[in-house]
Amino acid sequence: MGPPGGLACDSCHHEANFDPARVPGHPQWRLAPAEMAWQGRTLGQVCAQIKDPFRNGGKDMPALVKHMSEDSLVGWAWSPGAGRTPAPGTQKAFGALVKAWAAAGAACPKS
């Protein structure tokens, strides 16, 4: 489903950011399914959701580590284009943190 007016997502979103219009882009850009939404959820709920293969695209923990460490669509967060604040640190550092979290048992907060 596209935005109001019936345009397909790729009418605006292309393989790269279009900074003059502040339109994000990536070769694999697509609207995440509703079950992946984090808004209004606690940190514990988001953590459980990330680990749930029914809501994370069928990924087990090794696949999640690889996805978060290496996937260029995740990496977009560190180069989001003009007018957006990049994620802190680097994807490499984030990947190392995710790998350490997984190695320690991938515990989620209670709330």
Within the chain, where are the H helices?
Answer: 43-51, 61-70, 72-75, 91-103
Q: What is the pLDDT of residue 12?
A: 86
Domain boundaries, the chain: 9-103
Residue 3 has pLDDT above 70, yes or no: no
Where is pLDDT greater, at 105 or 2? 105
36-44: long-range pairs with CB below 8 Å, 24+: 42/109, 42/111, 43/108, 43/109, 43/111, 44/108, 44/109, 44/110, 44/111
60-100 per-position pLDDT tens digit: 999 999 999 999 999 999 999 999 999 999 999 999 999 99
What distance in Å separates the CA atoms of residue 102 and residue 94, rounded to the nearest whole number?
12
Structure tokens at 72: 């260029």
Question: pLDDT tens digits for 20-33?
Answer: 988 888 988 877 77
